[in-house]
Amino acid sequence: MKHAGPRTIARLEELLEVLRQFPQLKEKKQGVFYRKSRAFLHFHEDGEDIHADVRLGGDDFERFRCTTRREQLSLAKRIREQLDGDQ
């Protein structure tokens, strides 16, 4: 599974717009988000499937499928809950 390329990132534009609204996250490069000085979220592609690696609680990334709009909305909700819970 490789890191998401520009065409895959373009398929995530709606999700990226949501993520850009979270003040706790900084987009260092398109589709790569940091929280404070630490990598928080990036994307991978596997054929037509898209996966997000997100650091939701501990030191390790968790992988989430986010190919469909429903999966992307679910991921955004999980991230929002994590960020809200840490404040």
Amino acid in position 78: R
- Please, are residues 57 and 79 in contact by the beta-carbon 8 Å criterion? no
Predicted model pTM: 0.91
pLDDT in tens, 16-59: 999 999 999 999 999 999 999 999 999 999 999 999 999 998 88
Given this model, what pLDDT does residue 66 score?
A: 97
Task: Collect all residues with Cβ–Cβ distance below 8 Å to 73 and sequence separation of at least 6.
Answer: 15
Work out the pLDDT band at 87, boundaries 50, 70, 90: low
DSSP letter assigned to residue 79: H
Exposure of 19 by Cβ count < 10 A (0-12 exposed, 13-18 middle, 19+ buried)?
buried
